[in-house]
Amino acid sequence: MSLTAPANDEPAHDTGTAPARDLAALDAWLEALSAEQRVEWALAHGDGNPALSSSFGAQSAVTLHMLSRQRPDIPVILVDTGYLFPDTYRFADALVERLGLNLHVYRPLVSRAWMEARHGRLWEQGVAGLDDYNQLRKVEPMRRALDELDVGTWFTGLRRDQSGSRNRTPIVQQRGPRLKVSPIADWSDRQVWRYLQAHDLPYHPLWHQGYVSIGDVHTTTRWEPGMKPEDTRFFGLKRECGIHEQL
């Protein structure tokens, strides 16, 4: 299949001003392609500098492998909140070495100690505290990363079946000045497993201990029977940290 959309379907690539119907047509066209073809198209036709954000979470090896195969030097953005699991840091180190990733680590402007001195343990202060925590330790560093790296095409590993809040994730969307591309948005857990098996790639070590969604130590819990995956994050009070809602 050609990786150039039909002329009567493809919008102008100045997507900052592209009509919504054009992006919708492009998204519908990309739905018919494989994830690898979507990546190939976006790298060739996306706006500005490309980058991939990754939490180095449970199934992150899929997009890290897929993107780095086609663009070995693509910047990979990791937001280090200072509260990640030790296993996450070791997992990131292992994948960086194995895949030769061009890793860019961004951290909050305020240290853990200073934040806790000013605000206490924000993650224990209900939804409002969680929102403040996420703004300080996740959203602001990611916004800064996207700006400083001058990212025009932002790749993510979002998938629709990860949670109810993500079940309408498009393959491509305009988010402010950036084209946001989620090449495996329509993948199931089984498709993820098959890809990992085919390429001898690992799950996050905590996956095998029952952690299905992995963030910070104090806001991530092990999955138990009867729980939805989103219940394992933020004490079940919310699913999203704000990055993919605001940026």
Catalytic residues: 241
d(CA 187, CA 204): 18
The CA–CA distances, whole Å, from 215 to 65, 82, 211, 239 equal: 20, 11, 10, 11
Q: What is the dihedral of CA 14, 19, 24, 30, to 10 degrees?
A: -20
Token couple for 6: 């039909």
d(CA 85, CA 56): 11
Residue with tokens 């703004």: 135
Cβ within 8 Å of residue 220, ≥6 positions away: 85, 211, 213, 214, 232, 233
d(CA 80, CA 60): 15
Q: Is there a contact between 164 and 238 (Cβ–Cβ < 8 Å)?
A: no
Token couple for 178: 């950036």
